[in-house]
Structure 1
Amino acid sequence: MSYNNLLVEVEDRVVFLTINRPRALNALNDQTFEELRHFFSTGYRECGDFHGVLLTGAGDRAFVAGADIKEFLDVAEQGNGEQLSRRGQEVFFLIERFHRPVIALVNGFALGGGCELAMACHLRVATENASFGQPEVNLGIIPGYGGTQRLNQYIGKGKTMELILTGDRIGAEEAHRLGLVNYTLPRDEAREKALELLRVIGSKGPVAVAQSIRLVNAYYGGDEGFHAESAAFGETAKTEDFREGASAFIEKRIANFRGK
């Protein structure tokens, strides 16, 4: 299979899936979303029999530093914010509900859509330089790819409120302490730990693994919160505050929000 923004390699029955936009800190743009959709819906079949997927970002600086803000602005102008949010949620549901384990090897920034992508994976192993956050409020918008729902599942209401409302980041050690990541290790050890987990899971019954993934997800299976998130994302994407916040981000200046 051939993708522009994803690298796909298979070794020892593990699929290494790398988001390959290092100059953009692996930011999620439209094409990357569509390639992720293709891989997790049908493209994986070309990989043959495999134990699981190791998902990471190219380079040392970022797993995924967020979404493409310029594309966000275009969507805001067209009034398609809710559709954009639902598209991201649908792709991340494909990952969350994938029948083989997907482990995020989080190397560097996992912010905004990058944090949401990591949370859609079944397990997370972080390098010591990793950082996590949902900084969307800095742009006058909200998390739109499941962040308001999954972060709550992992770390609880109080800390979720704090991180989303302040837009603050947390480091790998705190993410581990809070339960957002399973392991925090030096880079080489983090990669080996992720592979070890995939090897261990791969030694178990594939049907039992697939059913376990399905049933654990079923506990959190209500879609109402996700639909509400998409609707609210669409509303905030229409505001003057979002246009100001996104423009300020691109222009590297402080946003002047007016509550409109």
Structure 2
Amino acid sequence: MSYSNILSTYKSGITTITVNRPKKLNALNKETISELHEAFKVADADRETQVIIVTGSGDKAFVAGADISEFADFSGEEGAELAAKGQEILFNFIENLSTPVIAAVNGFALGGGLELAMACHFRVASNNAKMGLPEVSLGVIPGYGGTQRLPQLIGKGRAMEMIMTAGMIDANNALNYGLVNHITIQAELLSFCESIANKIMRNSPVAIGKAIQAVNANYKTAVDGYQVEIEAFGACFDTEDFKEGTSAFLQKRKANFPGA
């Protein structure tokens, strides 16, 4: 499939989606958000894809925010619609995919860029990465889930400070805060993410999808995460992956999961 603002490539079980607007520091506009939705949808439906990595083109930015020129003249109603649609088709969509998504944060991840990274299941940063939510410096607040996911990841106090100061943190602080899982040099960022992806791909894709569902349930209002876990645990017993995994364990061999 051909895209104007992103690249999507597949190799050995991994689909890598790259935001490709380097002259705009990979800023998100409506078209890019729509293309990202489509690329993630296609990758998630592809049985050959077991892990998705998302990154930005060039060596300066993962995604340096939203394209402000698109909404500078919006009314309140239009702004709310922009946030609602963006959350639905991209940020919440990514968070709830059954295919694991790793954000390879290569440089600036600001505003909508950090919100994109936080929607992924976990994050790896290059050592030159800078992250922040600068929206209040523009007279607005994060609208793509930033006020919700940042406190979940780093705690309320640190999130409040980052949002209210509109400041950036570097990769080391992001690691200390728990915002990213690992730091590596930029030249090795994708290969490092691929090495983690290869570890993930040794395991049952069905069970991983169920685990994502159960973990996410803990952060949903009026949802009993323990009950979701119980039901997902039970559902695993009816899968071919469970039969293969337990048989392989008892037979002392490597499992070959069918993904069903």
Secondary structure at the counterpart of residue 170 of structure 1: strand
C-alpha contact (below 8 Å) 1:75/1:84 kept by paired residues: no
Scaled by the length of structure 1, the TM-score of the pair is 0.82
Q: Which amino acid aligns with 2:197?
A: L
Q: Which amino acid aligns with 1:148?
A: T
C-alpha contact (below 8 Å) 2:17/2:39 kept by paired residues: no
CA separation in 1, counterparts of 2:153 and 2:69? 30
**Structure with the greater relative contact order (CA < 8 A, sep ≥ 6): 1 or 2?**
1
Secondary structure at the counterpart of residue 143 of structure 1: coil
Deviations 1:10-62 (A, max 9, x none): 01111010000000000000001111122233x22675511111100000000
* Structure 1 residue ranges, 4+ long, deviating more than 3 angstroms after superposition: 45-48
Q: What is the CA-CA distance between 1:156 and the residue it aligns to? A: 0.2
CA separation in 2, counterparts of 1:72 and 1:62? 21
Q: What is the CA-CA distance between 1:87 and the residue it aligns to? A: 1.3
CA separation in 1, counterparts of 2:184 and 2:221? 33
C-alpha contact (below 8 Å) 1:15/1:47 kept by paired residues: no
Q: Which residue of 1 aligns with 2:135?
A: 136
Q: Which amino acid aligns with 1:158?
A: G
Q: Which residue of 1 aligns with 2:86?
A: 88
- Counterpart check, 1:68 vs 2:74: no
Identity of aligned residues (%): 49
Q: Which amino acid aligns with 1:38?
A: E
- Counterpart check, 1:3 vs 2:8: no
Deviations 1:160-190 (A, max 9, x none): 0100001000000100000000001111332
Q: What is the CA-CA distance between 1:74 and the residue it aligns to? A: 3.5
Q: What is the CA-CA distance between 1:120 and the residue it aligns to? A: 0.3
CA separation in 1, counterparts of 2:44 and 2:16? 14
C-alpha contact (below 8 Å) 2:43/2:49 kept by paired residues: no
Secondary structure at the counterpart of residue 80 of structure 1: helix
C-alpha contact (below 8 Å) 2:66/2:112 kept by paired residues: yes
C-alpha contact (below 8 Å) 2:53/2:102 kept by paired residues: yes
Provide the alpha-carbon RMSD of the alignment.
Answer: 1.6
Q: Which residue of 2 aligns with 1:31?
A: 31
Q: Which residue of 2 aligns with 1:189?
A: 188
CA separation in 2, counterparts of 1:217 and 1:46? 20
Structure possessing the higher radius of gyration over alpha carbons: 2
CA separation in 1, counterparts of 2:45 and 2:221? 32
Q: Which residue of 1 aligns with 2:197?
A: 198
CA separation in 2, counterparts of 1:21 and 1:222? 36
Deviations 1:127-164 (A, max 9, x none): 00001000001100000000000000000010001000
